[in-house]
Amino acid sequence: MLGYTVRRLLQFIPILIGLVTVLFALLNILPGDPARMMAGPFANPDVVETIREEMGFDRPLWVQYLDNLWDLARGEFGRSYQSRRPILGDLLEVFPKTVQLALAAEVTSALLGIWLGIVAATHRNGWADRLIMTIAALNLSFPLFWLALMLQIVFAVFLRLLPPSGYGSGFDQFVVLPAVTLALPSLGLLARITRAALIEVLGEDYIRTARAKGLRGVLVIRRHVLPNALIPIVTTIGTDFVRLLGGIPIIEVVFAWPGIGKYAYDALVFRDLPALQASVIVLAVSVSLVNLAVDLLYAFINPRIRYV
C-alpha cells in the first residue's frame, strides 16, 4: 500500500512536467501579449517594448521555458504580473476557499443523492422512483449559470433568505447558493448511480437470505446492501469532487466566490501567465491527489482489493 502510494506520487512528476510544457506552449500560442496588457490599451510601442525587456519576454522561448521549469522545480511560482507579488501567497488564500465550496457542494450532493437513490431503489418502479428519476434527468440538463441565476432570483431577491453572492467565513449562508447550484447536477447523477448499484445488490442471494432470516428492511439496506454497492458510489463522488475542484470558475465568477477559479479566470483575462500557470498546477495536483485518495479508499471499502 505504501509502495503503491509512493509510486503513484512519483508519477506526478512526469505528469506535471508534461502539463507545464503543454501550458507553456498554449499560453505562448494563445494570442494576447502580456506586455501589452500591462501597458494598457493603445500604449506606445516603446512602452510595450520596455516592459517586454524588463519582464524578460524578449528572451528566446526555450530560455523562458527552461527558466520557468527551473523556478517551478524549486517551488517558485513566480510573481503575478498584476500585483507584482509572489503568487504562492495568493494561492494559499484563494485555494482553501475553493475547497470549502467544493466540499459543501459534495457533501450536499452525496447526502441527498445517496438518500434519493436508496428511496428510488427500494421503491423500484413505484412513483417515488419515477419522480426522483425524472428530476434527476431534468436537473442534469440545466445549464449551470442559468440555474445559478434562478436560485439567486428566487432565494435572494424574492424570498430574501440568502445573500445572492459573495463570501462570508466559509461554511455560512454565503456558501448555500453556489454549493446547491454545483450539487444539483451531480446529485441527479449520484441518485441514478446509487439506484443502479443498489438494485444490482438487492437481487443477490445473500439479500434474500438476510430478509428470510427476518432482518428489518432498513437494516438490510444499511448492513448488507450499501457496503456492497459502495464502490460505484465512491467512484462517482470522487470524480465528481474532481469536477468541482477543477470545473467551477464560472460558478465562482457568477457567485463572486473568491476562490482559485475566479482567480485563474481573472489571470486569464489579464494574461497574467504566472498566476494562471500556478493556479492550473495547484488544481492539477489536487485532482491527482483526490484520484489517488479514491483509489486508496477502495481498499478500505472492499478488502478484496489490494494494492502492491
Partner 1 sequence: MKSMKHVTKLALCLVLLASLLIACVPAPAASTESAPADDSMTAESGEAEGPRMGGVVAGFVSSDPKSFDPAAIAGWDQGVIAPNLLEGLFRLSPDGREIEPAIAESFEVSEDGKTWTFNLRAGAKFHNGREITADDFKYSFERVLNPETRSPKAWMLSIIVGAEAFQDGSADEVSGIRVVDAGTLEIELAEPLAPFKAMLASINLAVVPQEEVEKWGEDFGQNVVAAGPFSLGEWNLNQDVTLNAFEEYWNGRPYLDAVMFRFIGDENTRIVELDAGRLDMAWVPPAHWDRFSTDPVYKEKLGWAETFHTDFIAVNLDNEPFGTNPKLRQAVRYALDLDAIIASLQGRANVAQGLLPPGLLGYDEAAVLNYPTNLDAAKALMAEAGFADGVPGTFDVILPPWGNLIKLLEIYQANLKEIGINIEIKPTEFGPYMEALESGSYDLAWMYRVTDYADPDGFYFPLMHSDNLGGGGNYARYENADVDANIATARATIDDAERARLYQEVDAQFAEDLPYIPLTHNIYVDVSTPRVQNYVPSPMDTHMFHRVWVTE
Applying CB under 8 A, the residues found at the interface with partner 1 are 31-33, 36, 38-47, 50-51, 54-55, 80, 82-85, 90, 93-94, 112, 119, 123, 126-128, 131, 149, 152-153, 156-157, 160-168, 172-173, 176, 253-256, 258-259, 262-263, 265-266, 269-270
Contact 12, 288 (CB under 8 A): yes
CB of 93 to partner 1, least distance (A): 5
Q: Closer CB to partner 1, residue 55 or residue 226?
A: 55
Q: Give the contacts of 230 (CB within 8 A, at least 6 positions apart).
A: 197, 301, 302
CB of 273 to partner 1, least distance (A): 13
Question: What are the grid coordinates assigned to 198, written together?
Answer: 443498489
CB of 163 to partner 1, least distance (A): 5
CB of 79 to partner 1, least distance (A): 8
DSSP 36-66: HHHH-TT--HHHHHHHHHHHTTTS-HHHHHH
Per DSSP, 127 falls in state H
Tell how far CA 119 is from the center of its chain. 27
Q: Closer CB to partner 1, residue 224 or residue 271?
A: 271
d(CA 275, CA 304): 44
Contact 64, 57 (CB under 8 A): yes
CB of 18 to partner 1, least distance (A): 26
CB of 308 to partner 1, least distance (A): 43
Q: Closer CB to partner 1, residue 39 or residue 238?
A: 39
Give the CA distances from residue 242 to residues 8, 99, 157, 245, 294, in Å, rounded to whole numbers and listed in that order. 17, 11, 32, 5, 10
Give the CA distances from residue 117 to residues 6, 66, 107, 122, 126, in Å, rounded to whole numbers and listed in that order. 36, 51, 15, 8, 13
